[in-house]
A and B are shown apart, each in its own frame.
Chain A
Amino acid sequence: SQKIEQNSEALNIQEGKTATLTCNYTNYSPAYLQWYRQDPGRGPVFLLLIRENEKEKRKERLKVTFDTTLKQSLFHITASQPADSATYLCALGRYSGAGSYQLTFGKGTKLSVIP
């Protein structure tokens, strides 16, 4: 069966350090992978998308890597700040036919940045 695993439910990190979150998947052939941020009681907020033929994407302090051989994506936040504390969701986009993609989410990793 298809699985998306974010291997840490929770991650605590000191302010200023780099946070690295992992997303692994099995039995998927994703067209792309997205990362979202979710704050309590709020909807997910899109951060970055990386396509199956891309290795790395950057946006400000964020970096995403995508290894389709290992079936893994790493999400890095450099120079982390307390304001980065949130749950981070990995989501895989799979082409489902008729011009449509289905986005499937992992359970998320709750990141706490300690001052």
Chain B
Amino acid sequence: EPEVTQTPSHQVTQMGQEVILRCVPISNHLYFYWYRQILGQKVEFLVSFYNNEISEKSEIFDDQFSVERPDGSNFTLKIRSTKLEDSAMYFCASSHFDGDYGYTFGSGTRLTVV
């Protein structure tokens, strides 16, 4: 069964550093998303991406965040200057018809900011 692949599985970074989280969505999917989950809390929407541009973003997705689809397969989330409160599990997801048949989530990247 096709999978969404995320790397790295765990990243530790110093406060103020930039991090790039990488994702390879399912190849024939058209919609891409980033979500995050702070430990013990709910899964929160960050951003959706379609047709090479952001289609929607949440209040969490401020100027320190950016997304890119640099080639036909990768989808990245960059956090420019990490803060302690950015520590969370970050999930990439993709879907074919924008959720009509469910989203496929990756296993996540656990980001720890120290």
Which A residues have a C-beta under 8 Å from some C-beta of B?
A: 32, 34, 36, 38, 41-47, 49, 89, 91, 93, 96-108
**CB within 8 Å for A102 and B42 given contacts A42-B108, A45-B105:** no
Interface contact A100-B55, CB-CB below 8 Å = yes
Show 25 A/B contacts (Cβ-Cβ < 8 Å), sorted by A. Answer: A32-B100, A34-B102, A36-B102, A38-B43, A41-B108, A42-B107, A42-B108, A43-B106, A43-B107, A44-B43, A45-B105, A46-B102, A46-B105, A49-B100, A89-B42, A96-B56, A100-B31, A100-B98, A102-B45, A103-B33, A103-B99, A104-B45, A105-B42, A105-B43, A107-B41
Residue interface mask B81-114, A partner, CB < 8 A = 1: 0000000010101000011111111111010000
Q: Which of B33, B42, B106, B108 has the most CB of A within 10 A?
A: B42
Interface contact B103-A46, CB-CB below 8 Å = yes
Give the residue name and chain of the A residue nearest to B97 (CB). Answer: A101
Interface contact B91-A44, CB-CB below 8 Å = yes
Count, chain B residues at interface, CB 8 A: 28
Interface contact A44-B44, CB-CB below 8 Å = no
Give the residue name and chain of the A residue nearest to B41 (CB). Answer: A107
Which B residues have a C-beta under 8 Å from some C-beta of A?
A: 4, 31, 33, 35, 41-45, 48, 50, 55-56, 89, 91, 93, 98-108, 110
Selected contact of B101 from candidates A49, A98, A102, CB within 8 Å: A49
User: Which 3 residue pairs of A and B lie closest in terms of their CB atoms, listed nearest first?
Assistant: A46-B102, A43-B105, A100-B55
**CB within 8 Å for A107 and B42 given contacts A42-B108, A100-B50:** yes
Give the residue name and chain of the A residue nearest to B101 (CB). Answer: A49
